[in-house]
Amino acid sequence: MIKKEEQPTTPDGMTRFLWWLAAADIDILNECRTEKERFRIIGISVLVTWIFATLAWGYFFSTILDDDMIVGLLALFFGFAILSIDRTLISAMSRSQGGVKIMPLLFRLVLAITIGLFVSQPVVLMLFKKDINAQLELSRQTKLDAYRQQLAKLNAAELNGYQQSMAEGKQRLAEKEEELKVYREAYIKETDGTGGSGRIGESAIAKVKKMAYLKSEEELQAMERTWAPKQREIQAKINRLHSEDSLKESIYLGTLTNGFLAQIEALNELTATHPPVQQRYRLIVFIIVLIEVMPLLSKVLMPRGEYDEKLAAATAQGAVGAQLEADKGEALAQHYQEAALAADKEMIDQLFAASSDLRKEQVENLVKEWKQREDNQYRRFWEQAKKLLIGKM
């Protein structure tokens, strides 16, 4: 029996999408039976990188924005930007002629690695989120303590002055109370017979000591009345300083957010103080960078095949056709100029030939007129002749 020729199968939508991700010419690829799976693999690697970059950008913007819709739109936009860069790099390698050139390849690798390093940061933060949050609390407390020390150092002179005034006032009251206590005990001893006179009751010495006791009590009361408003004023100033410090602390705490930069700082502190975390951090970054470089590496590692040869031939044929069209246009333009010049020359010759008799008749009339006028000069006659025969100069 005669076997029917195999007709090329029409690729499904997913396959065409993967080919588009691989920056492949679908018309040429349909003619290459052995190349279709290779470009499906490249498309899958680009798809994985695209999804990975979109998720990474989404987490990055979620650390600095609260609107989920804006976060989603920004993640899709920057993820598509990474996709465009990957497709550009792959397409540039497909269009390059000959073997793989070192300098363009190195440039593309450096660009891909740079993008991978940046994209890896949000992913690492997401993986170490719990440890980073714990480190953020420690860092926040450390920063708050340092800030409090700065505030205390800044207000030390003023606060020490208030505290010293408060201590001096209390010291004077304490001394006066101690003095009053001594006078009161002396008076009591003098009245109960245990004093220096040995008499019981209100003796002359007891009365003198009583007067000293009462005078000291009055002085203490007057001092308390004078000191009370001063004490309240000094205490109000001390409370004001504490309130200002508390307000400054609240404002400073508001600046200690859990944003992207704060998380990066906490991650650096974790890697600096915990060597195991640092090793795993480097390993994760390496894997993420490898994912970003994967489309470019898959294009480099896979050998040139039928598709590349056909694409190079089509590109060369297109370039030759464009050059031929350019040469044809140039030749036509040159021919047009030559034909136009010949036609203009022929028309001018015909014009001068047709007007020859008329110009001769006009010259004869001019000569007759010049001979009739004796005052005309030769130069003026020649100018009129040129205007008549040749035109205005």
Percent of the chain exceeding pLDDT 90 equals: 2
d(CA 226, CA 98): 101
- Model confidence at 76, pLDDT cuts 50, 70, 90, reads very high
pLDDT tens string 146-178: 888 888 888 888 888 888 888 888 888 888 888
Task: Please name the residue that has the structure tokens 């205005």.
Answer: 392
- Model confidence at 385, pLDDT cuts 50, 70, 90, reads low
Task: Please name the residue that has the structure tokens 């989404």.
Answer: 58
pLDDT at 4 over 50: no
What does each C-alpha distance from 26 to 98, 148, 300, 308 come to in angstroms? 22, 67, 20, 13
Query: Mean of the per-residue pLDDT values for the chain?
Result: 76
- CA dihedral over 371, 374, 378, 382, signed as positive or negative: negative
Residue 82 burial class via C-beta count within 10 angstroms: exposed 0-12, middle 13-18, buried 19 and up:
buried
* pLDDT for 309: 67
Model pTM?
Answer: 0.51
Q: Which residues contact 72 (CB under 8 A, 6 or more apart)?
A: 58
Q: What is the DSSP letter of 90?
A: H
Amino acid at site 345: K
Q: Which residues contact 53 (CB under 8 A, 6 or more apart)?
A: 78, 79, 82, 83, 115, 119, 292
pLDDT at 143 over 80: yes
pLDDT at 292 over 80: no
pLDDT at 289 over 70: yes
pLDDT tens string 101-137: 566 667 767 777 777 777 777 878 877 788 888 888 8
Structure tokens at 49: 């990188």
What does each C-alpha distance from 60 to 117, 265, 357, 390 come to in angstroms? 14, 15, 93, 83
Q: Quote the Cα angle for 58-262-123, to 5°.
A: 35
* pLDDT for 285: 81
* pLDDT for 73: 93
d(CA 183, CA 196): 14
Structure tokens at 16: 């065409």
Q: Which residues contact 152 (CB under 8 A, 6 or more apart)?
A: 159
pLDDT tens string 26-69: 777 777 777 777 888 888 888 888 888 888 888 888 877 888 89
Distance of alpha carbon 28 from the chain centroid: 40
Percent of the chain exceeding pLDDT 70 equals: 77
Nearest Cα neighbor of 144 from 10, 246, 33, 38 is 246
d(CA 173, CA 170): 5
Partners of 192 in beta bridges: 200
Q: Which residues of 312-331 are buried (b: 16+ CB within 10 A; e: fewer)?
A: beeeeeeeeeeeeeeeeeee
* pLDDT for 3: 44
Segment 365-390 mean pLDDT: 60
- Model confidence at 77, pLDDT cuts 50, 70, 90, reads very high
pLDDT tens string 207-238: 777 788 788 888 888 888 888 888 888 888 88
CB 85 within 8 A of CB 330: no
Q: Quote the Cα angle for 375-379-383, to 5°.
A: 110
More confident residue, 313 or 214: 214
* pLDDT for 104: 61
